[in-house]
């Protein structure tokens, strides 16, 4: 076990951060009959354009890639589901598998598809556990309305936040910071006594 050339030998999946996102909530607001054009740049050089034509129950997409001369057209169906307290929530339907999704990702040669059909990973899957713990602590600080920066200390309860919610989030933040700092201490290892809080 663990011999020569052992381990993963293939190519890692791309992440969703490297692809253009088509979000249902943004595009559903457009009125049918209008046309919106999105331009893409890669390293400051124009790379392509996407023309979106909203219809009553679908989005008409036309993509053109200037450098490679690629072009495709695609219709992405849209569905609405009722919300519990009124209104509705828009969804995009994946053209490949027919699943309802909030976001579709662009494959420059094939069009838009969901995460599974595009064979993508989320960027958080590539984070180390230590990095993930610090990101969780940052997210909890943002949710509590505290200024960014782990060295800023704890803030006060935001206006209109229930005390029980605030207490629960503070407890989660303290637990997350404790785990992150103990992981960092273990990773650095061998620090002299008193050099770390």
The three-state secondary structure class of 171 is: helix
- Residue 81's pLDDT is what? 92
Q: Which two tokens stand for residue 69?
A: 């001369």
- Which residues, at least 6 apart from 179, have a Cβ–Cβ distance to it below 8 Å? 133
Q: Where are the domains of the chain?
A: 16-118, 127-187
Q: By the 8 A CB rule, do 94 and 6 touch? A: no
Q: What letter does residue 108 receive in the DSSP assignment?
A: T
Q: 164 pLDDT exceeds 60?
A: yes
Residue 13 has pLDDT above 90, yes or no: no
pTM for the complete prediction?
Answer: 0.67
Tokens representing 96 are: 């490949």
Lowest-confidence pick of 4-8, 72-76, 133-137, 165-169: 4-8
List residues bridging with 105 in a β-sheet. Answer: 21, 113
Tell the burial category of 145 from Cβ atoms under 10 Å away from its Cβ (0-12, 13-18, 19+). middle
Distance CA 146, CA 161 (A): 13
**For residue 197, what pLDDT is reported?**
53
Instruction: Return the structure tokens found at 48.
Output: 């392509």
Please provide the average confidence, as pLDDT, over all residues in the chain: 82
Identify how many contiguous H helices and E strands the chain contains and give both numbers: 4, 9
pLDDT in tens, 29-48: 888 888 888 887 766 777 77
- Extract the tokens encoding 103: 């976001």
Question: How crowded is the C-beta side of 79, counted as CA atoms within 13 Å?
Answer: 10
pLDDT tens sequence across 109-135 = 778 899 998 888 888 888 888 888 888
Structure-block tokens of residue 44: 């400051």
To the nearest whole percent, how much of the chain has pLDDT over 70? Answer: 86
- Provide the pLDDT for residue 25: 87
- Measured distance between the N- and C-terminal CA atoms of the chain, rounded to whole angstroms: 40
């Amino acid at each position: 076990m663990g011999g020569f050339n052992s381990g993963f030998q293939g190519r890692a999946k791309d992440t969703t951060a490297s692809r253009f996102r088509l979000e249902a909530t943004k595009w559903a607001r457009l009125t049918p009959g209008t046309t919106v054009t999105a331009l893409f740049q890669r390293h400051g050089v124009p790379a392509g354009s996407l023309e979106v034509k909203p219809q009553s129950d679908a989005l008409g997409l036309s993509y053109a890639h200037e450098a490679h001369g690629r072009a495709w057209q695609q219709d992405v169906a849209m569905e609405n589901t009722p919300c519990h307290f009124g209104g509705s929530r828009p969804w995009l339907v994946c053209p490949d598998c027919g699943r309802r999704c909030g976001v579709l990702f662009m494959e420059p040669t094939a069009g838009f598809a969901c995460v599974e059909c595009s064979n993508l990973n989320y960027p958080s899957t590539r984070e180390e556990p230590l990095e993930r713990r610090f990101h969780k602590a940052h997210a909890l600080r943002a949710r509590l309305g505290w200024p960014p920066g782990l060295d800023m200390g704890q803030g006060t309860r935001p206006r209109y936040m229930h005390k029980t919610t605030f207490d629960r989030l503070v407890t989660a933040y303290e637990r997350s910071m404790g785990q992150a700092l103990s992981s960092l201490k273990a990773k650095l290892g061998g620090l002299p006594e008193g050099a770390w809080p």
